[in-house]
Amino acid sequence: MFESLTTKLTDIFTRLRGRGRLSEEDVIAGLREIRLALLEADVHYKVVKELIDRIRAEAVGEAVLESLTPAQQLVKIVRTELAEMMGGERVGLALDRRPAVVLLVGLQGSGKTTATAKLAALLKKEGRKPVLAAADVVRPAAIDQLETLGAQVDVPVIRRDGMAPPEIAAEAVEWAIANLCDVVLVDTAGRLQIDNEMMDELERMVATTEPSEILLVADAMTGQEAVNVAGTFDERLALTGIILSKLDGDARGGAALSIRHTTGCPVKFVGTGEKVDGLEPFHPQRMADRILGMGDVVTLIEQAEERLDTGKAEELVKRVRKNRLTLQDFLEQLEEMQKLGPVSQILERLPGVAKLRAGDDSEEETEMRRALAILRSMTVHERLNPSIIGGSRKKRIARGSGTKVRDVNRVLSRFEEAKRALKIVGGRRGKGPSPFDLLGAS
């Protein structure tokens, strides 16, 4: 996400830093480039104008131009204003009632059903007990899809064939009360905002269930249309928040930058993948850092703490200290790394990576899959005793993994590099490597 905008902004600030002292003309020229980059990223033109005006008002003052690092001061101002444009602070869900009802609405194909299940998975991790209401009776197989997703996240799904959506939602609330569930997530049918009959149905559902949250699921890849849709839905339903789906598929990301400012509705979550764990809380300040190429290490650490197996890491620490690292350990660490998501998502959260990447995420993913295939093609005996892997074994491993012998050699070479690095990290006085040390080394 934001790949194009991040690259352009990073280039602009790199050039400005290279000039050392900045004049007012330098700053204005830089802001002109920032303006074009934002417009090309599909940010609403009114939002761009207001943002640039606010940045200019602060950036051409003496406090910036006379400072020792004017370019860095400009970056700081842009970061602050970007975060403010996206809402400033994180806005969470207001689930004050029991059960709290969360209504998910939006256009057809925006990803409501998937977002409903993802949100249920997220709430379960927070210790809540959600239930899903299958109130999309229009789209064929929508209810079956929700039941499949509900089974994946181990959350019950309430379906009532033959009932109208408002009645289904009401039944789900009654079921939640009887079964001590504290959140009811209602998946509704996709509808055009100009379809008055279906919008009336949503209003009846709101009146029936009195939801704590009405969340619009908006497809980030539709750009400014997502902003227009949000405005119309908000007029009819008084939205409390927005879930931007498919943000990982939009290299421009303009909708995320525009939608809060133009509608007043906070973005509460963003979709970052197709799997049920591909939903993240939206933090404006962290997103501003990512847009400016500063990474988002905090989110990466949170995901590591949540998803990585610390027990395996502790066992690995012991083996590292005894210099007993094997290819089996190497395989397990690569599999652990996969839990954090695609390599491209991990890299975009690391500071400064935007300037170093070649721009082809597929190469990174291909390299990871190739290494895993090679390691899995080995026997357990070979993984536990890498020294026995000679020429004939390498040929067999290459055939079994659909790769070449040079690819096998590359994996073995990287294993030796990781082994040396982990030995250094693991030898630090008083502590062993964290999961991040291990993944970074591999």
Could you tell me the CATH number of the domain that includes residue 431?
1.10.260.30
> Same domain for 290 and 331?
no
Torsion sign, CA atoms 24, 29, 32, 38: negative
User: From CA 387, how far away is CA 146, in angstroms rounded?
Assistant: 50
Q: Which domain holds residue 389?
A: 301-441
Q: pLDDT per residue over 155-195, tens digit each?
A: 999 999 888 999 999 999 999 999 999 999 999 988 776 77
User: Is residue 92 domain-resident?
Assistant: no
Q: Quickly list DSSP for 357-372.
A: --S-HHHHHHHHHHHH
User: Is residue 94 domain-resident?
Assistant: no
User: From CA 160, how far away is CA 171, in angstroms rounded?
Assistant: 8
CATH number of the domain to which 154 belongs: 3.40.50.300
> Same domain for 211 and 226?
yes
| Exposure of 127 in the CB half-sphere (CA atoms within 13 A) | 0
Q: pLDDT per residue over 278-314, tens digit each?
A: 888 888 888 887 777 665 455 555 555 555 555 655 5
Overall domain count for the chain: 3
Please tell me the pTM assigned to this model.
Answer: 0.66
Average pLDDT, the chain: 79
**Strand 157-158 to strand 279-281: parallel, antiparallel, or no bridges (unpaired)?**
unpaired
pLDDT at 54 (0 to 100): 87
Q: Is 411 exposed, middle or buried (0-12, 13-18, 19+ CB in 10 A)?
A: buried
> Same domain for 170 and 135?
yes
For residues 426 and 441, the answer to whether their CB atoms sit within 8 Å is no
End position of a domain, from candidates 294, 321, 351: 294
User: Is residue 210 domain-resident?
Assistant: yes
> Same domain for 239 and 386?
no
User: From CA 407, how far away is CA 392, in angstroms rounded?
Assistant: 14
Q: pLDDT per residue over 258-270, tens digit each?
A: 888 878 889 999 8
> Same domain for 359 and 404?
yes
**Using alpha carbons only, what angle is made at residue 218 by residues 342 and 181, rounded to the nearest 5 degrees?**
85
> Same domain for 173 and 281?
yes
Nearest partner of 259 among 281, 231, 290, judged by Cα: 231
Q: Quickly list DSSP for 282-321.
A: --HHHHHHHHTT---HHHHHHHHHHHS-HHHHHHHHHHHH
> Same domain for 248 and 335?
no
User: Is residue 93 domain-resident?
Assistant: no
Q: Could you give the residue ranges of the DSSP H alpha helices within 179-295?
A: 196-209, 224-237, 254-263, 284-291
